[in-house]
DNA sequence: CTTTATTGATTGAACGTTCAATAAAGAAAT
DNA sequence: ATTTCTTTATTGAACGTTCAATCAATAAAG
């Protein structure tokens, strides 16, 4: 029963945040979405904070899984292909849909002042950056590789951000296209950045 | 007295949000930052919502002014220079400092579910996009120009976002460098994107 | 019969707003 | 200049609301 309820409540949390935002996502509203009573949340998550942490963990782990799956499916070890897989994983359809994207952004903003969420967000952030950096490193000096990794990560985040804010949601195909195009430009002429 | 207090309270709002986040920025805490009593807020802004709206207006207007100032200072009409000025304006030091950046991101996130803030954010967003698009349009077909504008806007937002979240704050020099480099790449070989 | 699952009313804390009271500042009149 | 009147500025306590957490009671399961 426990794993069922936990999953149910996490899903309900995303639905509630998608509906009214993190600030108005009360335990009662979340519980109603899940079709249970409010007390259950404290029973399975120890309180509202535990539920929010569990929800963020779920999102981050799904995101990591989407990236890992695409990278494992590659037949090649080429850096370009791996970075492309990272891009595609970050725009995986399961991550880009309304509720998940809005919850993600809400957590992102509130992680500025919640140490627990900040830690989770940081781990995920470093993973993306380290992965990108490692692949770029195979094609250019460290300094350039770092700059490329930071820039591509920023573009990915920016596309996410704008996608979460527009009413129509993110056009994941166009986002992928723009990110891949940027990658192509970075790899074609990767000397320009060193002009510091 | 009124303009003094309004300015004072807006500044205190940013300080409070920087300190504890939007969720915990209570009227009492804001008032304490400004050295006044809580009732004053309702007196000058009609309530907490009015104060938040006023604060976001201030940030957006400052940002717009920073961009406009740099563009007006240009001696040339070259698209590249204008886009460069837009980039520099968006990373103006007055906008990038801790309190402003964090407040900006907090509003951004909460604008998903607050119609008033969403309207303000939308106006600003469209302005940035339209400005970029118009300049790119002078150098390439409409379809490409739109793609470039969306991508550059996303990169700018992404750099902002990451800057607001890292404890050290945004390195505005590096952010400008990355954005300018991207711009150079877009203008150097602006045919790649049309391969749709 | 014991453990687990679930409810929903209750509790206490925190918040935004209101408002009567007070202080300060000008304006008008003597 | 002094007094009186009016307006504006400001306070802080009181009020009503909302929320998360608690817990005794109940139901279901093993």
Which of B20, B114, B145, B158 best probes binding to A when mutated, by most A CB atoms within 10 angstroms?
B158
Question: What's the pLDDT at B191?
Answer: 52
User: What count of residues does chain A have?
Assistant: 196
Buried b (16+ CB within 10 A) or exposed e, A78-90: ebbebbbbbbbbb
Q: C-alpha dihedral over A109, A30, A99, A49, to 10 degrees?
A: 30
Q: Is the pTM of this model over 0.85?
A: yes
Question: What's the pLDDT at B196?
Answer: 47
Per the CB < 8 Å rule, is A189 touching B186? no
Per the CB < 8 Å rule, is B154 touching A158? yes
Question: What's the pLDDT at A196?
Answer: 47
Per the CB < 8 Å rule, is B161 touching A162? no
Calculate mean pLDDT across residues B170-189: 94
Set of chain B residues whose Cβ sits within 8 Å of the Cβ of A102: 112
Question: What's the pLDDT at A188?
Answer: 86
Burial of A110 (0-12, 13-18, 19+ CB in 10 A): buried
Which of B109, B129, B191 best probes binding to A when mutated, by most A CB atoms within 10 angstroms?
B109
Residue B2 scores a pLDDT above 90: no
Q: What is the pLDDT of residues B7-53, one digit of tens each?
A: 999 999 999 999 999 999 999 999 999 999 999 999 999 999 999 99
Residue carrying structure tokens 């704050």: B169
φ/ψ (deg, to 5) at A187: -80, -30
> Does residue B39 reach within 7 angstroms of strand D, measured from its CB?
yes
Contacts of residue B181, defined as CB under 8 A and 6 or more positions apart, other chains included, come to A147, A151, A192, A193
Confidence of residue B110 (pLDDT cuts 50, 70, 90): very high
Between CA B173 and CA B178 the distance in angstroms is 9
- Regions in chain A scoring below 70 on pLDDT: 190-196
């Amino acid at each position: 029963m426990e794993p069922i309820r936990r999953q149910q409540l996490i899903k309900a949390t995303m639905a509630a945040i998608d509906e009214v935002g993190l600030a108005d996502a009360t335990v009662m509203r979340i519980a109603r979405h899940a079709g249970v009573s409010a007390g259950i949340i404290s029973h399975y998550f120890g309180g509202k904070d535990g539920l929010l942490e569990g929800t963020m963990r779920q999102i981050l782990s799904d995101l990591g899984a989407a990236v890992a799956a695409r990278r494992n499916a590659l037949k090649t070890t080429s850096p370009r292909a791996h970075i492309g897989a990272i891009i595609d994983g970050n725009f995986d359809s399961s991550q880009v849909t309304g509720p998940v994207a809005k919850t993600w952004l809400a957590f992102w903003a509130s992680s500025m002042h919640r140490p627990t969420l900040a830690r989770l967000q940081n781990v995920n952030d470093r993973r993306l950056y380290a992965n990108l950096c490692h692949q770029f490193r195979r094609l250019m000096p460290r300094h350039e590789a770092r700059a490329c990794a930071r820039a591509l990560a920023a573009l990915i985040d920016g596309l996410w951000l704008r996608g979460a804010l527009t009413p129509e949601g993110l056009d994941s195909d166009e986002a992928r296209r723009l990110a891949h195009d940027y990658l192509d430009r970075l790899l074609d002429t990767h000397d320009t950045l060193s002009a510091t």
